[in-house]
């Protein structure tokens, strides 16, 4: 990826694919856009959207959880379609500069404009227009994210993919830390402009470095003629031939149902159950600490996966998240920040380790390198679909149970269900059979 002496001699720039042992800098540069995505993803979804919905409706609105979850779910429905579609279209592109680059440029430029479009909403604004703004953001996020997910199998030698996956997660964690730090330092409820401007700068800087230093292998083979029917049929993978791929999809879907049934409502949980007045300041700090712990957890998880197998470590991290979700339930009966803080940190750290090994597991069962954008886009559905079902279902469960009984009871039910999702994920991943990972 980097070779100054070759450039000085005027020799062709080597492709990333040509490196048998990519350097640490190679891995960091390849994962820079994951840093940008997660700086936004884990600030906009769990903090910015709930707070802006509460600002629009009024902080005491009884249905803010249900409506906030529905906004997130509507955006995820867009992502459900766009990520695999953009990934499949990028697979077909032919260029000496590779297949993914135009999608990254257009997607990240659209993302920046979409972030800016979310700034003007204030008390009494139209929730419908706000939802449309969030749908627009999800479209451009995923127009870039679908093809970008195909970069690791495109450019990294197979022997280095586990390490690339770990570094992808480390950069995602650093992005989460940075985003939450920006929220903690510069975000004021109802006034997101400063933080949004900083996220735009991060996006553009990471895109520029990616375009400058990440070299895709040329895609020069003649693409088959486009036929809509064949294109749509290509999204179907025979379960008999790709059983492991489907089991990974199912277990990731269950795990992310648990994740998004909790993350989306942590802000309201801290405010309404734990009684923290400035939860929008406290939550980013807790998530940031959890993200810091997730960095060594990711590397340890990758090391343990090499030793004990990817399947076992995915299962173990799922059990840890199930225990954390159960702990949220228990703390609801004795609300105390000192009790909930370590749970948030453990949950965030275990989720970070889970992502590192789960991504490597997905790469291990990937059906074909030639269609990596499409296949990783399909796998991406297992993260996106829970963002539709989890927030909407859990949000209305919380809103209904709060009205019928109490805040504590509502979150006991909702987070208890989330714990069951993690248990299901931990149990079903045992059905994945990888000889090389066991």
On the question of pLDDT at 6 being above 50, the answer is: no
49, 109 contact by CB (below 8 A) = no
On the question of pLDDT at 81 being above 60, the answer is: yes
Mean pLDDT of 183-192: 85
Residue 370's pLDDT is 63
Show the tokens assigned to 250: 């199912």
Q: What pTM did the predictor assign?
A: 0.72
Residue 18's pLDDT is 42
Q: Give a yes or no: residue 2 inside a domain.
A: no
- CATH code: domain of residue 384: 1.20.1250.20
94, 223 contact by CB (below 8 A) = yes
Q: pLDDT > 90: what percent of the chain?
A: 18
Q: Give a yes or no: residue 230 inside a domain.
A: no
On the question of pLDDT at 149 being above 50, the answer is: yes
On the question of pLDDT at 16 being above 80, the answer is: no
Q: Give a yes or no: residue 13 inside a domain.
A: no
Query: Considering the chain, what is the average pLDDT of its residues?
Result: 81
Residue 288's pLDDT is 75
Residue 437's pLDDT is 39
Mean pLDDT of 95-100: 76
Show the tokens assigned to 121: 């909403």
Inter-CA distances, 85 with 146, 185, 234, 274, 363, Å: 8, 37, 11, 42, 19
- pLDDT tens string 51-65: 899 899 887 777 877
DSSP at 411: H
Maximum CA pair distance of the chain?
74
Q: For the ranges 222-231, 258-267, 393-402, which has the lowest average pLDDT?
A: 222-231
Q: Give a yes or no: residue 6 inside a domain.
A: no
DSSP at 367: S
Q: Give a yes or no: residue 265 inside a domain.
A: yes
Mean pLDDT of 371-387: 75
Q: Please enumerate in sequence order all residues whose Cβ is within 8 A of that of 290, keeping only pairs 6 or more positions apart, or say none.
A: 344, 345, 346, 347, 348, 349, 351, 352
Looking at per-residue confidence, does 322 or 19 come out higher?
322
The domain in which residue 61 lies consists of 22-218+237-437
Residue 34's pLDDT is 92
Q: Ranked by mean pLDDT, which of 185-194, 273-282, 361-370, 373-382 comes out on top?
A: 185-194
Q: Give a yes or no: residue 223 inside a domain.
A: no
270, 282 contact by CB (below 8 A) = yes
Residue 1's pLDDT is 44
DSSP for 315-345 reads: HHHHHHHHHHHHHHHHHTTS--HHHHHHHHH
Q: Give a yes or no: residue 14 inside a domain.
A: no
Q: How confident is the model at residue 206 (pLDDT cuts 50, 70, 90)?
A: very high
User: Position of tokens 């800087």?
Assistant: 205
Q: How confident is the model at residue 196 (pLDDT cuts 50, 70, 90)?
A: very high
Q: Please enumerate in sequence order all residues whose Cβ is within 8 A of that of 264, keeping only pairs 6 or more positions apart, or say none.
A: 45, 46, 50, 68, 69, 72, 390, 391, 394, 395
Mean pLDDT of 200-229: 81
Q: For the ranges 101-110, 119-128, 309-318, 388-397, which has the lowest average pLDDT?
A: 388-397
Q: Give a yes or no: residue 428 inside a domain.
A: yes
Mean pLDDT of 340-362: 81
Mean pLDDT of 244-262: 85
Q: How confident is the model at residue 5 (pLDDT cuts 50, 70, 90)?
A: very low
Q: How confident is the model at residue 32 (pLDDT cuts 50, 70, 90)?
A: very high
Number of independent structural domains in the chain:
1
Residue 11's pLDDT is 34
Cα dihedral 216, 221, 226, 232 in deg (nearest 10): -60
Task: Count Cβ neighbours within 10 Å for each residue of 148-159 and write b for 16 or more, e otherwise.
Answer: bbbbbbbbbeee
Show the tokens assigned to 362: 């997905």
């Amino acid at each position: 990826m980097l070779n100054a002496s070759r450039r000085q001699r005027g020799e062709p720039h080597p492709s990333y694919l040509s490196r048998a042992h990519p350097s640490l800098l190679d891995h960091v540069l390849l994962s820079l856009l994951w840093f940008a995505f997660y700086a936004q993803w884990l600030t906009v979804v769990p903090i910015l959207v709930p707070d802006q919905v509460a600002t629009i409706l009024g902080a005491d609105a009884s249905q803010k959880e249900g409506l906030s979850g529905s906004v997130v779910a509507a955006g995820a429905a867009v992502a459900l379609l766009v990520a695999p579609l953009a990934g499949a279209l990028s697979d077909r592109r032919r260029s000496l500069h590779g297949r993914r680059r135009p999608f990254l440029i257009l997607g990240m430029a659209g993302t920046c404009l979409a972030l800016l479009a979310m700034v003007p909403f204030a008390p009494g604004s139209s929730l419908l227009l706000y939802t449309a703004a969030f749908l627009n953001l999800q479209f451009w996020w995923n127009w870039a994210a679908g093809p970008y997910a195909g970069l690791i199998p495109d450019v990294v030698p197979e022997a280095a993919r586990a390490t690339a996956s770990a570094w992808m997660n480390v950069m995602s964690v650093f992005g989460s830390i940075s985003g939450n730090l920006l929220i903690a330092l510069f975000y004021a409820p109802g006034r997101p402009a400063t933080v949004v401007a900083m996220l735009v700068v991060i996006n553009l800087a990471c895109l520029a470095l990616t375009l400058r230093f990440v070299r895709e292998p040329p895609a020069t083979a003649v693409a088959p003629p486009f036929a809509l029917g064949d294109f749509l049929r290509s999204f179907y993978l025979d379960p008999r031939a790709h059983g492991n791929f489907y089991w990974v999809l199912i277990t990731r879907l269950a795990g992310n149902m648990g994740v998004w049934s909790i993350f989306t409502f942590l802000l309201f949980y801290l405010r309404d159950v734990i009684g923290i007045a400035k939860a929008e300041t406290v939550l980013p700090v807790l998530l940031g600490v959890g993200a810091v712990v997730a960095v060594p957890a990711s590397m340890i998880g990758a090391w343990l996966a090499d030793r004990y197998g990817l399947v076992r470590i995915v299962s173990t991290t799922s059990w840890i998240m199930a225990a954390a979700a159960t702990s949220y339930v228990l703390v609801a009966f004795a609300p105390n920040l000192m009790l909930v803080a370590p749970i948030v940190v453990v949950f965030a750290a275990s989720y970070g380790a889970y992502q590192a090994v789960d991504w490597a597991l997905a790469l291990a069962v990937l059906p074909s390198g030639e269609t990596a954008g499409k296949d990783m886009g399909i796998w991406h559905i297992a993260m996106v679909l829970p963002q539709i079902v989890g927030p909407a279902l859990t949000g209305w469960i919380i809103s209904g149970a709060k009205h019928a009984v109490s805040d504590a009871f509502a979150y006991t039910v909702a987070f208890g269900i989330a714990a069951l999702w993690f248990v299901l994920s931990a149990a079903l991943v045992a059905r994945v059979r990888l000889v090389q990972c066991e």
